[in-house]
Each structure stands twice: as C-alpha cells, then as structure tokens.
Structure 1
Amino acid sequence: MVFQIWLAQPPAGAPPDPQVLARQAITTMNLKAVSIGIVPEPTPGRVGLVGMPVWMWDTNPGPSTWGPNTKTASAGAYTVTATAKATKVVWSMGDGEVVVCRTPGTPYEDSFGRQDSPDCGYTYTRQGVYRVWARSYWSVQWSGLGQSGSIPLQFANSVRITVGEAQVLTQ
C-alpha cells in the first residue's frame, strides 16, 4: 500500500529548486536600467533642434546596467550559477517612435558635430518636450543541479528633453 502526503517543506536532504537559487543569485547582481546619456541634455536651458541627431547611450555601462554579471547562490551542497546580460535597450522617444539599440551606445562629444550616432540615435521632426524612456531587456542564463534555464528581466528609466526649431529670417 502506498500513501501520498503533502509536505509544506521538502524532506530533509532533498535538493532545492534550482530556479529559486537562480533568482537568489539575481537579487545579488543589483541589475538596473541604463543610466541615460542623451544629447540634447535633459537639463533646464538645454534645447535640441528639429532635424539634428539625438545620441543615446548608457553613461556607466558595467555589470549592473549592461553585463555580463555572474553570481552564484547555494543551499547546502547545491549551487546554481546565473549570468545576466542586457540584450537590447528599447528607447521610446516620446513622439510614438521607438529605437532599438543592441549596444550601450556611444557617448556624444562636441567634435562629432552634426554626425549621426554610429549605433544608437534618432532625429526628431517636430519640436516639443519629450519624455524619453530607456527599457533594458536582460537575459539571465542559469545552470545547476543538472538543470538550466533562462529568466527574462527588464528595467526602465526616463528623462525629459526639449527639442526646438531654428527659424531663419532673411530680408
């Protein structure tokens, strides 16, 4: 005769759920959205121009904002290793348009002038004040206890920029 019973906790010596350990490892990674770098700068008095390139980038790309970031979590003799990497940043430009960047972007320098960003840019066609969102999409690959898997994550950050229009007067 076989009896089945439900236990609130696994029996002593039973291995832990590896996905639970993977999530514990993730909590120690301090993952977050990119620190937004953008030209025009999101500060009072700074105005971009319609038709001029906008550059977007992560001001501090590292293990917490871009990856890779590898951590382990253990329970007794059992260990799971998790590695997180950002796969893309989806920039919602505030005017209904979206830009997908698969790199941390290139920081703008004055010497670049009117040049387009080589990897993460946009150009506004109308003046206005825009809330720009950067959504970081992460993939966490984990393995341990003879199993493996993937956990998707996302984080968001935003800034407000102003884009004006230059008027040329002639006589």
Structure 2
Amino acid sequence: MWIENGTVTIDPVVLANRAIASMDLDPIKIGIVPESAPNRAGLVGLPVWMWVDQPTDDTFGPITASASEGTVSVTATAKVSSILWNMGDGTKITCTGKGTPYADHYGKQASPNCGHRYAKMSDDQPDGAYQVTASSHWVVEWTGGGQSGTIEFDLTTDPLPIRIGEAQVLTH
C-alpha cells in the first residue's frame, strides 16, 4: 500500500499475490512409465510416457481466488501452461497439457503427446537410475483495482527415481 494525497491506496499486485498464496498451489504428481518402484525398469530405446497423475485445481488449475483490502478487490485465475520434464539424462522436454496416462493396451507405442526414449546407458548412471523432475509453469491472470496483469512462476516436483536397463542380445 502507499499514501497518495493523504489517501491510503492498496497496490493491486500485492492483493494478486495474496490471492495466489491463498490457492495453496502444489507441483504436479508425476505419472510415468516405467514406474518408480522396486523391480520395475524400462529399457533403452523403449518409450517412456509422462503425464500429470490425478490433476486437481491446486496442481494443474484452473483455480480462481480473490483478495480484498479496503475498497480494492483483486481476482486471480491460475493454470499450468506447460510442464518441463527433466529426464535426468541431460534431456529436457516441454509438454503442454496433462499428457496421456499409459495403459497396457498401448504396448510399445510412443506417447501421443508427452514422451521420451533413453538412447543409451550413461556413464553417469551406471546402475540405470535416473532422477526425473517435472516443473509446472503457472500463469496467473489477475484483475482488480483498475489494473490487470500476469504473474508467472514454476513449481518443481521432488526427484523421482526410475530405472532404465539395456537388453543384451546374444546370437550364435
């Protein structure tokens, strides 16, 4: 807030940030095949599928909240515009939308909208363990107090370990 001509004025950006804070936004829950579990592994060259698992208003949006002080009220709507997947092998993939959850009937098909293939085993990951993270890019449109604007920020998941192995083919 600031004082102008003896009148206390509320900064709408402050209220927009207050509205965003009240949304209690969280990073997405990672959906990925191969799954991150003991005795689960993918293979070099086979498709990896990534998606937003069980999306909610506070992990993917859209979600709307308001904040007021005095006569000034601001309404903000937040939603994820893209997700940057860091695959742990130096590859970063940007996907828009939630991705497609994998189902067994897809077999060895590549994901139609958010996937990756590990090309070869890395010397940095001799045991085939890769740490995958997903950064949600949030875009918040706000309006109020005679102003409007956009606030953007990222929320990143904790690293999720997945294992990728190599199949060795023997011929006689």
Instruction: Give yes or no for TM over 0.5.
Output: yes
For residues 111-163 of structure 1, the C-alpha deviation after alignment (integer angstroms, 9 at most, x for no partner) is 11001111100000123211111011111111101001111111001211000
Q: What's 2:125 paired with?
A: none
SS at match of 1:115: coil
2:87 aligned to 77, 93, 108, which one?
A: 93
Q: What's 1:148 paired with?
A: 148
Structure 2 spans left out of the alignment, 5+ residues: 122-127
**Equivalenced residues, count:** 164
SS at match of 1:14: strand
TM-score (norm: length of structure 1): 0.90
Q: Does 1:21 align with 2:22?
A: no
Q: What is the aligned-residue RMSD (CA, Å)? A: 1.6
User: Against the structure 1 CA distance between its residues 40 and 57, is the aligned structure 2 distance closer, same or farther, given a 3 Å change threshold?
Assistant: same
In structure 2, C-alpha distance between the alignment counterparts of 1:100 and 1:71, rounded to whole Å: 27
In structure 1, C-alpha distance between the alignment counterparts of 2:31 and 2:39, rounded to whole Å: 17
Q: What's 2:41 paired with?
A: 47
Q: For residue 44 of structure 2, what is the amino acid of its counterpart?
A: V
Q: For residue 162 of structure 1, what is the amino acid of its counterpart?
A: R
In structure 2, C-alpha distance between the alignment counterparts of 1:15 and 1:112, rounded to whole Å: 58
Structure 1 spans left out of the alignment, 5+ residues: 1-7
Q: CA deviation at 1:83?
A: 0.7
Native 8 Å contact 2:2 2:8 kept in 1: no
Q: What's 1:164 paired with?
A: 165
In structure 1, C-alpha distance between the alignment counterparts of 2:87 and 2:73, rounded to whole Å: 42
Q: What's 2:134 paired with?
A: 134
In structure 2, C-alpha distance between the alignment counterparts of 1:121 and 1:20, rounded to whole Å: 39
For residues 56-104 of structure 1, the C-alpha deviation after alignment (integer angstroms, 9 at most, x for no partner) is 0110212111111110001122210001111110001111111110011
Moved over 2 A (4+): 8-15, 168-171
Q: For residue 169 of structure 2, what is the amino acid of its counterpart?
A: V
TM-score (norm: length of structure 2): 0.90
SS at match of 1:25: helix
Q: Does 1:57 align with 2:51?
A: yes
Native 8 Å contact 2:49 2:115 kept in 1: yes
Q: For residue 36 of structure 2, what is the amino acid of its counterpart?
A: P
Percent sequence identity is 49
User: Against the structure 1 CA distance between its residues 147 and 123, is the aligned structure 2 distance closer, same or farther, given a 3 Å change threshold?
Assistant: same
Q: For the pair shown, which has the larger CA radius of gyration, 1 or 2? A: 1
